[in-house]
Structure 1
Amino acid sequence: MDDQVEEIFRQVSDRISVEEFEARVNEKVSLMGGLCDPLTAAMLVAHELGAGEILTKIKDIRPESGAVTFTGRVVHISEVREFSRSDGSIGRVASLTVGDETGMIKVTLWDDATDLVVSGDIRVDQCLKVRGFPRLGRSGTEISIGRGCSIQEIDSDIKVRVEPLKIAEIRPDMGEISIIARVIDPGKAKEFTRKDGSKGFVRSMLLGDDTGSINITLWNDHALIDASEGDVLEVINCSSRERYGFIELQTSRYTVIRKSSSEIKYSERFTPIADLRVGEICNIAGYLTGIGELREFQRDDGTKGYVTSINVTDETGRVRVSLWGDLYRLLENADLGCRVEIMGGQVKNGWNGELEVSCGWRSRITFAPPG
């Protein structure tokens, strides 16, 4: 039972056992021939059991969730801002940051809904029940409040999560993310030219904690931060997205990055080769047991590319690993039998029907003598 289904079960746990609830959810999924996912089936079962409004935890709200109802405590309120629409009319917008014990989310109020801010009916530290529509905004998933939506004060003692997220807890399209992590690869700032001719900077940095690692893209002033391998950074108010199968963090002008004195242990989690599954992004470790030939090919844009392959073996099995681009250069100092660690490979179906791991520019590969 995943976290979202388990949360729905908790709302009806006084009426049904967990075994019966799971059985009814599975039955409903089966009867609907795959047209109903477990989360929707769980909601239907809860409704049949007489459950009232199903509340969603903030961490489970996604852009594709449809209308959601959740509760949270107001952490921050923006000023009301006026803007001109394309038809010449004037609109108003304000935003709230609302949190629960699982995370925080931005709630955007449009037009008449902003009266709640002007009148003072919405206040910092107030607990609210919100019904609105999730969408993907510039800083991750946010809630839009307009027609058909509602906000009401509730008498509740909602605890807002104040500790930063662990990297393993980060999912795509989250906003209001804060983490404390160690710099694994500081990267380098690169200058670029915007459409208006002005200059900007961008930098990709790899951060890690005791649950894994994640790339963060730093823009402009953030890209110029003085950070080296081993430094610990506190990153406040960034967002996440999925790109090429990887989850990564993005900064904005509202992001704060500062060095921290916290003790952060970093460790990668490696998947046994026998447990690899198609489509997942994986970390594997083992020994180099084969090296293929280097092949040159021509890309669609006419440039040359390179690919080679190696075999990696651990105590559970062996897998073929494709190395694209300049990754073949890492083999210059690698010998058969040396230790291999691969971070950020993508599991695919190979030509012969066997699984293989594909590594590109986002992958990190290290070779070390057996020890």
Structure 2
Amino acid sequence: MSILKNGNQGLEIHGNDSTIIQIEGGKEAEPVIARILSITTTESGKNMILGVDNKKNIYNITDFSNSTSICNEGDVIECMPSKVYGNSVTLDNNSFVRKLENDESIPSLSQIRTKINEVKVDGNYCIESIVLKIPERREIQTKSGESILLSEMFVEDDTGQIWVKGWRNQARLIDKCELGEIISITGVNAKSGLEGRIELTLTAFSKITKKN
């Protein structure tokens, strides 16, 4: 077990060789309070959670400890992570999670959604849109000879249109969508595609929910 002292002489760490202290910006990890926007569960049973705090910061929370099994989408939680790097939060057996009373200062999914015409490269977004074209699926050969599944669909809202892509496991999420469906997509990353156009790419934290 380690002891942290943050004194005038800097941060003292007392522990054995196996002690690992994760520090972000000179501070030890602090509790994260966020609303759960979406939960996806991997084949291995690991929860991948998209959360948002009261400053509209989006968090990618990876739960290796099953400590979020009591949580549902829309819940406000407080978690003490074992590791924080940027907007990535890791929970393991040394972490704790508890549900809090609803906090109106933390936005809901409907309040955090972004219009397509407001999407900028490198941002992480949640959108709601209608599927304009039947999803296309194909296999891409890499330089190493590996065959990777890619699915993409063309969607729009009342402000614009955009391509949404999914690689490997995320391609299967797109395959389930159909022409004319209204869908909610959480946790997509905006990238610069061909001819400088912006595209949205699904991540491990993405979830597609059909609205109609």
TM-score by length of 1: 0.44
- Match 1:321 to one of 141, 144, 164: 164
1:258-269 equivalent positions in 2, closer than 5 A? 258=98, 260-264=99-103, 267-268=108-109, 269=112
Q: 3-state DSSP class of the match of 1:362?
A: strand
1:200-239 equivalent positions in 2, closer than 5 A? 203-208=46-51, 211=56, 213-219=58-64, 222-223=65-66, 226-230=69-73, 232-236=76-80, 238-239=82-83
Contact 1:186 1:227 in 2 (8 A): no
- Match 1:249 to one of 80, 86, 89: 89
TM-superposed deviation, 1:298: 3.2
Distance (whole Å) between structure 2 residues aligned to residue 97 and residue 235 of structure 1 = 26
TM-superposed deviation, 1:333: 4.5
For structure 2, list consecutive stretches of 5 or more residues without a partner in the other structure.
Answer: 14-20
Contact 2:155 2:163 in 1 (8 A): yes
TM-superposed deviation, 1:278: 1.7
Question: Identity percentage over the alignment?
Answer: 22
Corresponding position: 1:347 with 2:190: yes
Corresponding position: 1:96 with 2:18: no
Corresponding position: 1:141 with 2:51: no
TM-superposed deviation, 1:301: 5.8
Backbone CA RMSD of aligned residues: 3.5
TM-superposed deviation, 1:307: 0.8
Question: What corresponds to 1:240 in structure 2?
Answer: 84
Contact 1:272 1:316 in 2 (8 A): yes
Distance (whole Å) between structure 2 residues aligned to residue 363 and residue 338 of structure 1 = 18
TM-superposed deviation, 1:257: 2.5
| Aligned partner letter, 1:257 | V
| Aligned partner letter, 1:139 | I
Contact 1:178 1:238 in 2 (8 A): no
Q: 1:255 to 1:332 in 2, by over 3 A?
A: closer
For structure 1, list consecutive stretches of 5 or more residues without a partner in the other structure.
Answer: 1-77, 80-93, 99-106, 111-136, 144-173, 191-201
1:100-119 equivalent positions in 2, closer than 5 A? 107-109=10-12
TM-score by length of 2: 0.71
Distance (whole Å) between structure 1 residues aligned to residue 37 and residue 60 of structure 2 = 10
Q: Deviations over 1:298-340 (max 9, x none)?
A: 3456543111221111111111111211333334553322112
Greater share of strand residues, 1 or 2?
2
Distance (whole Å) between structure 2 residues aligned to residue 295 and residue 109 of structure 1 = 54
Distance (whole Å) between structure 2 residues aligned to residue 236 and residue 97 of structure 1 = 22
Q: 1:225 to 1:317 in 2, by over 3 A?
A: closer
Question: What corresponds to 1:270 in structure 2?
Answer: 113
**Relative to structure 2, which stretch is displaced further, 230-239 or 283-292?**
230-239
Higher relative contact order, structure no. (Cα contacts within 8 Å, ≥ 6 residues apart): 2
| Aligned partner letter, 2:108 | S
TM-superposed deviation, 1:234: 2.5
Q: 3-state DSSP class of the match of 2:171?
A: helix
**Relative to structure 2, which stretch is displaced further, 331-340 or 316-325?**
331-340
Distance (whole Å) between structure 2 residues aligned to residue 97 and residue 215 of structure 1 = 31
